[in-house]
Chains A and B, each alone.
Chain A
Amino acid sequence: MKKFMPVEELARDERFNQITQADRMSDARSAVPANAESTRRSSNRLTPARADASDAARALMHGIFVGEIQALEGAGRTCWDFTTGEEAPFGLKLDMARQAWDEARHVEISLKLGDWMGSDVGQYAENTVLFQAACSNDPVLRLAGVNRALEGLAIDVFTSMKEFGEMAGDPYLEFCEDWMLADEVTHVKMGSDWLRKVTENDPERRKKALEFQSIVDKMFSYGGSRSDSDESSLGIARRFRELAGFTSDENEHIADLGLQALEERKAQIREKQAAAKN
């Protein structure tokens, strides 16, 4: 078995339909309509009051499910891709094995929840951006990408889903999301701790890793999907992020990235509108 697996080789059964971020962006259905600004909702947060709440929740749950598969694969590959001692400390690999078990449980939970919410495996496309963005060939960048950016996103997603379960009066959903949230906080903390430890005497490497994390965070905030604004579908779960080892400055940075991405998206919409009028 080779080291470092390209995203195209992720093995799936025939129910899955994988797409890359590029596929998604070039899909005509993803295009911003000319009248987008006038038809925008005042809030994009997932709430039971939204007319499309059931479909949106099902789609988000499927996204969580495939994200958990990729996180499982990413953690497993870290156990394999790096030589113990020379490239990655023994303790780091033990933590990644633990994370693989946790992610396997999350896949199980997501499958049961998907069933509970009335969706099927493969009903929505699987965007492989998580594995693609997060699985660097440098273990430190992988910690930054997988454990801090990706798992940090998971904290935000699970917090939103938990709140949705609470508002919708679905204790089953709320219960499961809360348990997964606890695991994700642990995973981010593992990433934060190892990143600090491994780069203790290498500030340049730490800087590079944090820059990489910032790039991945921006990618995960694409189009302003995550920010403090109600126009974003996901918020920033500051309290849980702090528990996981993110500093206040880091949380503010992620929030700024999200707002910046949201403003860029809105500017694009205005440009389109202007072009359509002319």
Chain B
Amino acid sequence: MANPQKPRAPFAPWDRRELPGSFSVEETARRVGHYKWAEMKLFEALGGWIATVPELDIKMRLGTHCYKHAWHAELWHKRLPELREMNPERLTLPANDAMVRFIDAMTEPEAPELTIEKLVGVYRVFIPHFISAYTYHLNNTSEITDMPTIRSIKFILQDEFDDWREGEMLIQSLLETPEEVDRAAAHQAKLEKIMLEAGGIAGPGSIGINTPAPQGAMS
């Protein structure tokens, strides 16, 4: 056994984490509040749609995915007070009005014949934007000071990737004619345009582009 009294480097040679990060505490709290709001809207919509889809396999998947997004919202809810936001509801907000319009448009399909539109909104538009925003956050925040956020994002991203893949496969299994492909594409384009206006899950700068000003103390 090595001499236990011998000084060791505090950071092992394989530990390459860096201190600087792009986001201040306030900016992190702002983003986390938007994530929580968006995850809430997603789990509510998935829950509501369960009874409206006739396809049994999809009904069960929506029930499963509903919980995952509720859990994500809960993780963000718990993170907010750790970011000096003692009233989590204060920051649980949409990024902007366009994001509210996006949710309204995404949750508009209700009839049992509209499963394609329901799934496209979630799995081809909303969840890919979650993955983008979370990946940007993960890759730009301080790997030491903001490790709790990183840990949550890693758990969440695993869910998002799994659900994205599952949702995409369900969509592919529903598209049986060229007309249905057009339907899916048209609905995706309609929603994507509103999301473009919103600037992403956390508004402009969700993935680092179109960022109005430096956001952090130690970029």
Contact = CB atoms under 8 A, between A and B. Distances in A.
Contacts of A81: 48
Query: Binding site of B, secondary structure by majority: helix, strand, loop or mixed?
Result: helix
Task: Give the size category of B's interface with A.
Answer: 35 or more
A108 to B, nearest CB: 6
Contacts of B67: 97-98, 100-101
B60 A13 contact: no
Given A76-B66, A101-B67, A94 B73 contact: yes
A104 B54 CA distance: 14
B45 interface: yes
A141 interface: no
Contact of A72 (B44, B63, B110): B63
Contact of A11 (B43, B109, B112): B112
A60 B188 CA distance: 43
A132 to B, nearest CB: 12
Give the one of A5, A78, A80, A103 with max B CB within 10 A. Answer: A80
Contacts of A121: 56
Contact of A101 (B56, B59, B66, B107): B66
A164 B77 CA distance: 44
A77 interface: yes
Query: Binding site of A, secondary structure by majority: helix, strand, loop or mixed?
Result: helix
A13 B44 CA distance: 23
Give the one of A1, A72, A78, A121 with max B CB within 10 A. Answer: A1
A108 B61 CA distance: 10
Interface in B50-77: 50-56, 59-64, 66-71, 73-74, 77
A47 B44 CA distance: 42
A2 interface: yes
B77 A101 contact: no
Nearest to B68: A101
A93 interface: yes
B112 A97 contact: no
Nearest to A101: B67
Give the one of A76, A78, A105 with max B CB within 10 A. Answer: A76
List the 9 closest pairs (A to B, CB-CB), nearest first: A80-B48, A79-B47, A104-B63, A97-B70, A101-B67, A76-B47, A76-B50, A73-B51, A11-B54
Interface of A: 1-2, 5, 9-13, 69, 72-73, 75-81, 84-85, 90, 93-94, 96-98, 100-101, 103-105, 107-108, 121
